[in-house]
Structure 1
Amino acid sequence: MGLKIGDAIPLFTLPDAQGNQFSIKQLIGEKPFVIYFYPKNNTPGCTKEACDFRDKYEDFKNCGAEVVGISADTPKSHANFQNKHQLPFILLSDKNNEVRRKFKIKNNFLLVPGRETYVIDEKGKVVMVFNSLNASEHMKRALLALSKK
């Protein structure tokens, strides 16, 4: 079983699309945020999900929130994905799936990394968890959870 509402998220540091180390501590205590785990850059579902977050990014900012996408892709792959689709939010490289394991996210169909979205309050506590292969629902659920705060 993964993290549940009310759980504190595990602390972590991962490289971003530019290869810089990004610590989640930069957001905790500052603002609410969304972390969405996705299987792979440039696949149809993952591209749809990323573009959904991109298209509503201003709505997330209006809620005072940041968006963070995490997959096992390399920083270079993230940079290409970010540039190709003009993604304005943070993409982090979890090459060895260490953070995915800390969040206790299971693979779907044994091989495909799980697609899971968390909304985290400014204190670092989980306020929403959504796990579904349906990429089109993740952004909607996250934005709804933030708008209820």
Structure 2
Amino acid sequence: MSLSIGDTAPHFILNDQDGNKFDSKDHIGKKPLVLFFYPKDYTPGCTKEACSFRDSYEEFTDRGAEVIGISADSEASHRKFASSYKLPFILLADTQNKVRRLFRVEKALFNLLPGRETYVIDKEGKVSMVFNSMGASQHISKALKALKALKK
């Protein structure tokens, strides 16, 4: 079962596509975070989702949010993936699936694939939205709607 709305987002540290350490404590309290967990770089659904976040990236930044993609792929794979599709946001390498477990992102499709789940974390570090769907298309609109609600 995923984290629930109102839960405190767990603290985590991972490397990004450039080998830099990303510490969630450095971001929480400063701006909302949109964390999208996806199965794998370069697969059709994941590419569609990442490119949709890219195409809407300005809407996220206009709402003051930082977009972060997380999968078990390596830093090198993320670097190539980000470069190939001109992704303007951070991709984190969760090669041991530690953060995926912290957020309780469950496997999908008969327990064969890593799940696809998006979280919106508010400035105070609380989960304000959880969306779980293997379909890549709705994650962006759900996250934008949740960010808009934070501004009220």
TM-score, normalised via structure 2 length:
0.96
Match of 2:4 in 1: 4
1:64: how far off? 0.4
CA RMSD of the aligned region, Å?
Answer: 0.6
1:147: how far off? 1.3
| Identity rate, percent | 58
Which residues in structure 2 correspond to 1:72-111 (within 5 Å)? 72-109=72-109, 110-111=111-112
- AA paired with 1:123? E
1:33: how far off? 1.2
2:16, 2:92 → 1: CA distance? Answer: 4
Q: Does 1:44 align with 2:44?
A: yes
Match of 2:21 in 1: 21
| Structure 2 gaps, min length 5 | none
- AA paired with 1:44? P
Match of 1:118 in 2: 119
Match of 2:59 in 1: 59
Question: Secondary structure of 2:138's partner?
Answer: helix
2:53, 2:148 → 1: CA distance? Answer: 15
For these two proteins, the number of residue pairs brought into alignment is 149
1:2: how far off? 1.2
1:37, 1:104 → 2: CA distance? Answer: 11
1:21: how far off? 1.0
TM-score, normalised via structure 1 length:
0.98
Match of 1:143 in 2: 144
Partner deviation per Cα, 1:71-98 (whole Å, 9 max, x = no partner): 0000000000000000000100000100
Runs (4+) off by over 2 Å:
none
- AA paired with 1:2? S
